[in-house]
Amino acid sequence: MAASQANMEKMQFRQSFRNLWHSDLMGTIQADTRYCCFSFFCAPCASYLLRKRALYNDMSRYVCCAGYMPCSGRCGESKCPEFCLATEVFLCFGQSVASTRFLLQDEFNIQTTQCDNCIIGFMVCLQQVACIFSIVAMLVGSEEISEASQLLNCLADLVYCSVCACMQTQHKIEMDKRDGMFGPQPMAVPQFQQMSRIDQQIPPNVGYPPQPAYGQPYGYPPPPQAQGYPPQQGQGYPPAGYPPPGYPPSR
Protein backbone atom coordinates (compact mmCIF):
# COMPACT_ATOMS: atom_id res chain seq x y z
CA MET A 1 0.00 0.00 0.00
CA ALA A 2 2.83 2.37 0.84
CA ALA A 3 4.58 1.57 -2.46
CA SER A 4 1.40 2.28 -4.45
CA GLN A 5 0.96 5.59 -2.64
CA ALA A 6 4.58 6.51 -3.38
CA ASN A 7 4.08 5.71 -7.08
CA MET A 8 0.95 7.85 -7.19
CA GLU A 9 2.85 10.73 -5.65
CA LYS A 10 5.60 10.27 -8.24
CA MET A 11 3.06 10.43 -11.06
CA GLN A 12 1.56 13.62 -9.67
CA PHE A 13 4.97 15.17 -9.12
CA ARG A 14 5.95 14.23 -12.67
CA GLN A 15 3.37 16.69 -13.99
CA SER A 16 5.39 19.59 -12.57
CA PHE A 17 8.52 18.75 -14.56
CA ARG A 18 9.72 21.54 -16.86
CA ASN A 19 12.08 19.80 -19.31
CA LEU A 20 10.87 18.34 -22.60
CA TRP A 21 11.92 15.37 -24.67
CA HIS A 22 14.59 16.15 -27.22
CA SER A 23 12.20 14.86 -29.91
CA ASP A 24 8.45 14.41 -29.68
CA LEU A 25 6.70 11.26 -30.85
CA MET A 26 5.74 12.77 -34.20
CA GLY A 27 9.34 13.66 -35.00
CA THR A 28 11.06 10.43 -33.99
CA ILE A 29 10.65 8.78 -37.40
CA GLN A 30 12.45 11.64 -39.10
CA ALA A 31 15.01 12.03 -36.30
CA ASP A 32 16.19 8.38 -36.36
CA THR A 33 14.46 6.34 -39.05
CA ARG A 34 16.68 3.28 -38.77
CA TYR A 35 16.24 2.84 -35.04
CA CYS A 36 12.50 3.41 -35.37
CA CYS A 37 12.30 0.54 -37.86
CA PHE A 38 14.44 -1.61 -35.58
CA SER A 39 12.11 -0.84 -32.65
CA PHE A 40 9.08 -1.75 -34.75
CA PHE A 41 10.30 -5.10 -36.06
CA CYS A 42 12.30 -6.17 -32.98
CA ALA A 43 10.60 -4.36 -30.13
CA PRO A 44 11.67 -6.62 -27.19
CA CYS A 45 15.34 -6.42 -28.22
CA ALA A 46 15.16 -2.65 -28.36
CA SER A 47 13.49 -2.53 -24.96
CA TYR A 48 16.23 -4.74 -23.48
CA LEU A 49 19.04 -2.59 -24.86
CA LEU A 50 17.40 0.69 -23.85
CA ARG A 51 16.77 -0.41 -20.26
CA LYS A 52 20.36 -1.58 -19.92
CA ARG A 53 21.60 1.70 -21.35
CA ALA A 54 19.30 3.70 -19.08
CA LEU A 55 21.03 1.97 -16.15
CA TYR A 56 24.42 3.06 -17.55
CA ASN A 57 25.14 -0.60 -18.40
CA ASP A 58 25.26 -1.38 -14.67
CA MET A 59 22.93 -4.35 -14.27
CA SER A 60 23.49 -4.42 -10.52
CA ARG A 61 21.04 -1.48 -10.44
CA TYR A 62 18.34 -3.44 -12.27
CA VAL A 63 14.96 -3.86 -10.60
CA CYS A 64 11.99 -5.45 -12.29
CA CYS A 65 9.89 -2.79 -14.06
CA ALA A 66 12.30 -0.14 -12.70
CA GLY A 67 10.63 -0.32 -9.29
CA TYR A 68 7.23 0.94 -10.50
CA MET A 69 5.29 -2.32 -9.99
CA PRO A 70 4.34 -4.22 -6.80
CA CYS A 71 6.47 -7.19 -7.93
CA SER A 72 9.60 -5.04 -8.21
CA GLY A 73 12.45 -6.32 -6.08
CA ARG A 74 10.72 -9.65 -5.35
CA CYS A 75 11.69 -11.62 -8.45
CA GLY A 76 15.30 -12.42 -7.61
CA GLU A 77 16.68 -9.74 -9.90
CA SER A 78 19.95 -9.47 -7.98
CA LYS A 79 20.87 -13.11 -8.74
CA CYS A 80 20.41 -12.98 -12.51
CA PRO A 81 19.44 -9.48 -13.71
CA GLU A 82 20.02 -10.23 -17.42
CA PHE A 83 17.60 -13.16 -17.40
CA CYS A 84 15.02 -11.19 -15.42
CA LEU A 85 15.24 -8.27 -17.85
CA ALA A 86 14.84 -10.60 -20.83
CA THR A 87 11.78 -12.14 -19.18
CA GLU A 88 10.34 -8.70 -18.52
CA VAL A 89 10.70 -7.39 -22.07
CA PHE A 90 9.16 -10.54 -23.62
CA LEU A 91 6.34 -11.23 -21.14
CA CYS A 92 5.56 -7.65 -20.04
CA PHE A 93 6.67 -5.66 -23.06
CA GLY A 94 4.32 -2.71 -22.62
CA GLN A 95 5.25 -2.29 -18.98
CA SER A 96 8.97 -2.53 -19.82
CA VAL A 97 8.67 0.37 -22.26
CA ALA A 98 6.66 2.45 -19.80
CA SER A 99 9.12 1.72 -16.98
CA THR A 100 12.08 2.89 -19.05
CA ARG A 101 10.14 6.01 -19.90
CA PHE A 102 9.35 6.76 -16.25
CA LEU A 103 12.97 6.10 -15.34
CA LEU A 104 14.22 8.70 -17.80
CA GLN A 105 11.55 11.20 -16.86
CA ASP A 106 12.40 11.02 -13.16
CA GLU A 107 16.13 11.28 -13.85
CA PHE A 108 15.99 14.32 -16.16
CA ASN A 109 12.72 15.94 -14.97
CA ILE A 110 11.05 15.47 -18.36
CA GLN A 111 7.38 16.05 -18.90
CA THR A 112 5.32 14.60 -21.74
CA THR A 113 3.74 17.12 -24.08
CA GLN A 114 -0.01 17.26 -24.62
CA CYS A 115 0.40 15.95 -28.17
CA ASP A 116 2.31 12.90 -26.95
CA ASN A 117 -0.28 12.32 -24.23
CA CYS A 118 -3.04 12.40 -26.85
CA ILE A 119 -1.22 9.83 -29.00
CA ILE A 120 -0.63 7.50 -26.07
CA GLY A 121 -4.20 7.99 -24.84
CA PHE A 122 -5.60 7.21 -28.31
CA MET A 123 -3.56 4.00 -28.39
CA VAL A 124 -4.94 2.88 -25.01
CA CYS A 125 -8.55 3.81 -25.86
CA LEU A 126 -8.37 1.96 -29.17
CA GLN A 127 -7.23 -1.18 -27.39
CA GLN A 128 -10.10 -0.90 -24.92
CA VAL A 129 -12.63 -0.46 -27.71
CA ALA A 130 -11.21 -3.46 -29.58
CA CYS A 131 -11.50 -5.55 -26.40
CA ILE A 132 -15.13 -4.49 -25.91
CA PHE A 133 -15.98 -5.37 -29.53
CA SER A 134 -14.41 -8.80 -29.10
CA ILE A 135 -16.52 -9.47 -26.00
CA VAL A 136 -19.68 -8.31 -27.76
CA ALA A 137 -18.91 -10.47 -30.81
CA MET A 138 -18.38 -13.49 -28.56
CA LEU A 139 -21.67 -12.94 -26.70
CA VAL A 140 -23.83 -12.13 -29.71
CA GLY A 141 -22.31 -14.61 -32.14
CA SER A 142 -22.84 -12.37 -35.15
CA GLU A 143 -20.44 -12.95 -38.02
CA GLU A 144 -20.46 -9.30 -39.05
CA ILE A 145 -19.59 -8.09 -35.55
CA SER A 146 -16.89 -10.75 -35.31
CA GLU A 147 -15.26 -9.57 -38.53
CA ALA A 148 -15.48 -5.95 -37.39
CA SER A 149 -13.87 -6.84 -34.07
CA GLN A 150 -11.03 -8.66 -35.85
CA LEU A 151 -10.37 -5.63 -38.07
CA LEU A 152 -10.47 -3.37 -35.02
CA ASN A 153 -8.04 -5.65 -33.19
CA CYS A 154 -5.62 -5.55 -36.13
CA LEU A 155 -5.84 -1.76 -36.21
CA ALA A 156 -5.28 -1.52 -32.45
CA ASP A 157 -2.24 -3.81 -32.65
CA LEU A 158 -0.79 -1.79 -35.51
CA VAL A 159 -1.22 1.47 -33.60
CA TYR A 160 0.23 -0.12 -30.46
CA CYS A 161 3.35 -1.35 -32.24
CA SER A 162 3.83 1.97 -34.03
CA VAL A 163 3.48 4.10 -30.90
CA CYS A 164 5.77 1.82 -28.88
CA ALA A 165 8.39 2.03 -31.62
CA CYS A 166 8.21 5.82 -31.58
CA MET A 167 8.42 5.86 -27.78
CA GLN A 168 11.52 3.68 -27.77
CA THR A 169 13.13 5.84 -30.43
CA GLN A 170 12.33 8.86 -28.30
CA HIS A 171 14.09 7.20 -25.34
CA LYS A 172 17.12 6.39 -27.47
CA ILE A 173 17.41 9.98 -28.74
CA GLU A 174 17.19 11.29 -25.19
CA MET A 175 20.01 9.00 -24.05
CA ASP A 176 22.07 10.06 -27.07
CA LYS A 177 21.68 13.60 -25.82
CA ARG A 178 22.63 12.51 -22.31
CA ASP A 179 25.78 10.79 -23.51
CA GLY A 180 26.87 13.81 -25.58
CA MET A 181 26.52 12.12 -28.95
CA PHE A 182 25.09 15.28 -30.49
CA GLY A 183 28.27 17.24 -29.73
CA PRO A 184 28.56 20.55 -27.87
CA GLN A 185 25.84 23.06 -28.49
CA PRO A 186 27.08 26.19 -30.33
CA MET A 187 26.98 29.37 -28.32
CA ALA A 188 24.82 32.05 -29.86
CA VAL A 189 25.07 35.79 -29.36
CA PRO A 190 22.31 36.85 -26.97
CA GLN A 191 19.68 39.08 -28.44
CA PHE A 192 19.26 42.69 -27.33
CA GLN A 193 16.68 42.97 -24.62
CA GLN A 194 15.05 46.01 -23.06
CA MET A 195 15.02 45.88 -19.31
CA SER A 196 11.75 46.47 -17.57
CA ARG A 197 10.91 49.55 -15.54
CA ILE A 198 11.24 47.57 -12.33
CA ASP A 199 14.73 46.29 -13.07
CA GLN A 200 16.06 49.63 -14.33
CA GLN A 201 16.53 52.75 -12.27
CA ILE A 202 15.71 55.02 -15.22
CA PRO A 203 13.03 53.51 -17.47
CA PRO A 204 13.92 53.03 -21.14
CA ASN A 205 12.66 55.51 -23.70
CA VAL A 206 10.05 53.65 -25.68
CA GLY A 207 8.17 55.84 -28.12
CA TYR A 208 9.07 59.08 -26.31
CA PRO A 209 11.89 61.58 -26.87
CA PRO A 210 14.53 61.66 -24.14
CA GLN A 211 13.57 63.99 -21.31
CA PRO A 212 16.05 66.02 -19.23
CA ALA A 213 16.86 65.01 -15.71
CA TYR A 214 15.19 66.70 -12.76
CA GLY A 215 16.45 70.24 -12.16
CA GLN A 216 18.10 70.58 -15.57
CA PRO A 217 16.71 72.89 -18.29
CA TYR A 218 15.99 71.69 -21.79
CA GLY A 219 19.06 71.58 -23.93
CA TYR A 220 21.31 70.45 -21.08
CA PRO A 221 24.30 70.19 -21.18
CA PRO A 222 24.95 73.67 -22.62
CA PRO A 223 26.73 73.98 -25.94
CA PRO A 224 30.50 74.31 -25.70
CA GLN A 225 31.87 77.86 -25.34
CA ALA A 226 34.14 79.40 -27.90
CA GLN A 227 36.80 80.08 -25.28
CA GLY A 228 38.25 77.41 -23.08
CA TYR A 229 38.39 77.22 -19.34
CA PRO A 230 40.31 78.55 -17.52
CA PRO A 231 40.45 81.82 -19.51
CA GLN A 232 43.54 82.68 -21.47
CA GLN A 233 46.33 84.63 -19.80
CA GLY A 234 45.96 87.64 -22.12
CA GLN A 235 42.41 88.27 -20.98
CA GLY A 236 43.34 88.62 -17.33
CA TYR A 237 41.54 87.61 -14.26
CA PRO A 238 39.28 88.96 -12.97
CA PRO A 239 37.91 90.49 -16.15
CA ALA A 240 37.81 94.23 -16.73
CA GLY A 241 34.86 96.10 -15.29
CA TYR A 242 34.63 93.88 -12.30
CA PRO A 243 33.46 94.71 -9.73
CA PRO A 244 30.97 97.24 -11.11
CA PRO A 245 31.37 100.89 -10.14
CA GLY A 246 29.72 101.93 -6.92
CA TYR A 247 30.27 98.58 -5.30
CA PRO A 248 30.12 98.17 -2.41
CA PRO A 249 27.52 100.90 -1.82
CA SER A 250 28.48 103.78 0.47
CA ARG A 251 26.76 104.14 3.80
* pLDDT confidence of residue 57: 94
Q: Is the peptide bond before 81 cis (omega within 30 degrees of 0)?
A: no
Q: In degrees to the nearest 10, what's the CA dihedral of 138, 144, 150, 153?
A: -90
Q: How confident is the model at residue 85, as a pLDDT?
A: 94
pTM, two decimals, is: 0.68
Alpha carbons within 13 A on the beta-carbon side of 202: 6
In the DSSP assignment, the letter for residue 64 is: G
- 45-60 per-position pLDDT tens digit: 999 999 999 999 999 9
pLDDT for 7 beyond 60: yes
- Percentage of the chain modeled with pLDDT above 70: 68
- In a 10 Å sphere around its CB, with 0-12 CB exposed, 13-18 middle and 19+ buried, how is residue 40 labelled? middle
CA angle 170, 172, 173 (to 5 degrees): 65
Which tops the pLDDT comparison, 198 or 109?
109
Predicted pLDDT of residue 248: 62
DSSP H or E segment with residue 20: strand 19-20
pLDDT given at position 225: 56
Write the pLDDT tens digit of every residue in 168-219.
999 999 999 999 888 665 555 555 555 544 444 544 544 445 555 555 554 5
Q: Quick one: pLDDT at residue 78?
A: 85
| SS3 (DSSP) at 19 | strand
Q: Which of 42-46, 102-106, 229-233 has the lowest mean pLDDT?
A: 229-233
